[in-house]
Structure formats: structure tokens, C-alpha cells
Amino acid sequence: MDVVKAAQLSGRTLEKVVVHPLVLLSIVDHYNRVARDTRKRVVGVLLGTSSRGSVDVTNSYAVPFEEDDKDPRIWFLDHNYHESMFSMFKRINAKEHVVGWYSTGPKLRENDLDIHALFNNYVPQPCPGDY
């Protein structure tokens, strides 16, 4: 089900998103390790909790990602790695779930909708604005 449709059906509104500093540092570290001084971008998962119109982003992890420079429709995201990492994070904090994903770069890309659709499968209760 599409995020927007789910949000319209539920009638909920998203009032606040809190991103913890560790998450921002992890994203910057991921970019510096993998894509610094290149034109590549990095992709990862945002973990946290959501309730009563508020999303609390408390953790994140990098996911192996590659895309073709010439054809944006060709990309690879390692599903097995994501599922393995998410399983390990669940053992540490069972309350955290996938609340979104991140990517670096100056603009949105054509394949971002496909990546978003993939991660929608892991978001238990989509919130309006989770796109």
C-alpha cells in the first residue's frame, strides 16, 4: 500500500520528527568512508519509534548500495544485509523499527521512488510525510 494512501486512510498527522545526533554522525561517517571525493551516494536505514504523530529517529545503519552512473534504473541494494542487520538491532532494542531511509546527494533521483517502495515493506505503520 502506498504511504500517502495509508496516511489518508488512517487520518493521522505527523507533527514532530526528532533525529538524534548519533544518527546524523553515523550518516556523515558512512558517506566519508564510502563516497568521499566521488560522485557516488550512500543509502542506509533509519530506526526508531513512532507514536501519536511523532517519530523519534534513534539509530541508523548503512546498507550496501550500487547504482549505474549511466542508467539510473539499474541499481542494487543488498536486501539480505538489511534484513540481517535489522534482526541484530531488534535483539538489542526490540522497540525500534524501520521508520525510514536516507541517501546522500544534491538531488532526488529517478530510482528513489523504487527504493522508497522497497523500504515501505519494512515500515509497520507509515506516517504522513514519510517520503
Identify the structural domains of the chain with CATH numbers, from first to last. 3-120 (3.40.140.10)
Q: What is the pLDDT of residue 52?
A: 82
Rounded distance between C-alpha atoms, residue 25 and residue 29, angstroms: 6
Q: What is the pLDDT of residue 128?
A: 45
Q: Is the entire prediction scored with pTM above 0.85?
A: no
Q: What is the pLDDT of residue 20?
A: 97
- Neighbour order of strands in the sheet with 97-103: 16-19, 54-63, 43-51, 97-103
Q: What is the pLDDT of residue 11?
A: 55
Show the low-confidence residues of the chain (pLDDT under 50): 1-9, 128-131
Rounded distance between C-alpha atoms, residue 94 and residue 110, angstroms: 34
Q: What is the pLDDT of residue 127?
A: 55
